[in-house]
Amino acid sequence: MSKKFTYYPIGVCSRQFDIVLSDDGGVVESVLITGGCAGNTQGVAALAKGRPTSEVIALLKGIDCKGKGTSCPDQLAKALEKAGES
Protein backbone atom coordinates (compact mmCIF):
# COMPACT_ATOMS: atom_id res chain seq x y z
CA MET A 1 0.00 0.00 0.00
CA SER A 2 1.47 3.31 -1.02
CA LYS A 3 1.69 6.25 1.34
CA LYS A 4 -0.30 9.29 0.12
CA PHE A 5 0.42 12.78 1.39
CA THR A 6 -1.01 16.23 0.59
CA TYR A 7 1.06 19.34 1.23
CA TYR A 8 0.02 23.00 0.92
CA PRO A 9 3.10 25.02 -0.07
CA ILE A 10 3.88 28.43 1.38
CA GLY A 11 5.31 31.43 -0.47
CA VAL A 12 5.03 30.06 -4.02
CA CYS A 13 2.54 30.09 -6.88
CA SER A 14 1.67 26.40 -6.50
CA ARG A 15 -1.33 25.66 -4.30
CA GLN A 16 -1.13 21.96 -3.53
CA PHE A 17 1.21 18.97 -3.83
CA ASP A 18 -0.28 15.47 -3.91
CA ILE A 19 2.54 13.01 -3.28
CA VAL A 20 2.56 9.23 -3.37
CA LEU A 21 5.48 7.47 -1.68
CA SER A 22 6.43 3.82 -1.47
CA ASP A 23 5.14 1.84 1.51
CA ASP A 24 8.19 2.68 3.57
CA GLY A 25 8.27 6.31 2.36
CA GLY A 26 11.70 5.81 0.84
CA VAL A 27 10.85 6.34 -2.85
CA VAL A 28 8.75 8.98 -4.61
CA GLU A 29 6.15 7.16 -6.72
CA SER A 30 4.42 10.28 -8.05
CA VAL A 31 3.95 14.00 -7.52
CA LEU A 32 1.03 16.09 -8.77
CA ILE A 33 1.50 19.84 -8.35
CA THR A 34 -1.56 22.08 -8.65
CA GLY A 35 -0.88 25.65 -9.73
CA GLY A 36 2.44 27.26 -10.49
CA CYS A 37 4.33 27.30 -13.79
CA ALA A 38 2.99 24.20 -15.54
CA GLY A 39 6.16 23.27 -17.43
CA ASN A 40 8.41 23.70 -14.42
CA THR A 41 6.16 21.88 -11.97
CA GLN A 42 5.60 18.98 -14.39
CA GLY A 43 9.35 18.77 -14.94
CA VAL A 44 10.13 18.74 -11.22
CA ALA A 45 7.46 16.08 -10.65
CA ALA A 46 8.84 13.92 -13.48
CA LEU A 47 12.40 14.20 -12.19
CA ALA A 48 11.34 13.23 -8.65
CA LYS A 49 9.42 10.12 -9.76
CA GLY A 50 11.19 6.89 -8.92
CA ARG A 51 13.97 8.54 -6.90
CA PRO A 52 14.71 8.03 -3.22
CA THR A 53 13.09 10.75 -1.12
CA SER A 54 16.43 11.56 0.50
CA GLU A 55 17.97 12.18 -2.92
CA VAL A 56 15.12 14.48 -4.02
CA ILE A 57 15.36 16.45 -0.77
CA ALA A 58 19.13 16.86 -1.17
CA LEU A 59 18.77 18.05 -4.77
CA LEU A 60 15.90 20.51 -4.28
CA LYS A 61 16.20 21.90 -0.75
CA GLY A 62 17.20 25.56 -0.68
CA ILE A 63 16.42 26.45 -4.31
CA ASP A 64 15.18 30.04 -4.44
CA CYS A 65 12.71 31.64 -6.87
CA LYS A 66 13.01 35.39 -7.47
CA GLY A 67 14.32 36.18 -3.98
CA LYS A 68 11.30 34.63 -2.23
CA GLY A 69 13.52 32.49 -0.01
CA THR A 70 11.79 29.39 -1.37
CA SER A 71 10.54 27.87 -4.62
CA CYS A 72 8.31 25.05 -5.81
CA PRO A 73 11.28 22.65 -5.79
CA ASP A 74 12.24 23.81 -2.27
CA GLN A 75 8.64 23.36 -1.13
CA LEU A 76 8.63 19.83 -2.57
CA ALA A 77 11.73 19.08 -0.49
CA LYS A 78 9.94 20.43 2.59
CA ALA A 79 6.86 18.37 1.76
CA LEU A 80 8.96 15.21 1.53
CA GLU A 81 10.64 16.01 4.84
CA LYS A 82 7.24 16.50 6.45
CA ALA A 83 5.92 13.27 4.90
CA GLY A 84 8.86 11.46 6.46
CA GLU A 85 7.86 12.75 9.89
CA SER A 86 4.32 11.39 9.68
pLDDT tens for each residue of 14-73: 999 999 999 999 999 999 999 999 999 999 999 999 999 999 999 999 999 999 999 999
Residues facing 30 on adjacent strands: 20
Reading phi first (left if > 0) and then psi (alpha if -120 to 50, else beta), residue 80 is in alpha
- The predicted pLDDT at position 1 comes to 83
Sketch out the chain's domains with CATH numbers.
Answer: 3-85 (3.30.390)
pTM: 0.95
Q: Say whether 41 sits in a helix, a strand or coil.
A: helix
64 vs 22: CA distance, rounded Å: 28
